[in-house]
């Protein structure tokens, strides 16, 4: 299996609701992107980089090919990264209108209005 195929499979599974997600997570699932940032598409390459992105926020994870059950580990990490990003985006959108809230605007994160 190629890295890009794995990324697409995980992304589609999250969007299609194959994982049990909270309401907040389901709201962001259609904006999720799982991107191969590696120099190669081979699962045996020296360094594997996977980016999990929602709007302007992302998490980039690095892997080495000799990890046992690497595709499953990547899948679990993508799911965790997705949930982390959802929580952060939830806080930004909740606090954006409050006087002492987060000072990051929706425009800077490319959030829909």
Query: Do the domain assignments include residue 16?
Result: yes
Query: Do the domain assignments include residue 110?
Result: no
Which pLDDT band, with edges at 50, 70 and 90, does 47 fall under?
A: very high
Q: How far apart are CA 35 and CA 71, in angstroms?
A: 14
What's the mean per-residue pLDDT of the chain?
86
Counting every residue written for the chain, the total comes to 113
Number of domains the chain is built from: 1
Range of the domain at 66: 3-95
| Mean pLDDT for the stretch of residues 43-62 | 94
Query: Do the domain assignments include residue 70?
Result: yes
In the prediction, which pLDDT does 105 show?
54
């Amino acid at each position: 299996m190629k890295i890009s195929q794995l990324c697409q499979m995980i992304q589609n599974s999250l969007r299609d609701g194959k994982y049990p997600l909270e309401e907040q997570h389901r709201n962001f699932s259609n904006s999720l992107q799982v991107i191969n940032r590696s120099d190669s598409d081979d699962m045996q390459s020296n360094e594997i980089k996977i980016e999990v992105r929602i709007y302007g926020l992302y998490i980039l994870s690095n892997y080495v090919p000799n990890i046992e059950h690497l595709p499953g580990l990547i899948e679990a990490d993508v799911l965790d990264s997705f949930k982390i990003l959802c929580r952060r985006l939830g806080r930004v959108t909740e606090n954006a209108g409050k006087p002492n809230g987060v000072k990051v605007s929706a425009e800077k994160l490319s959030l829909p209005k």
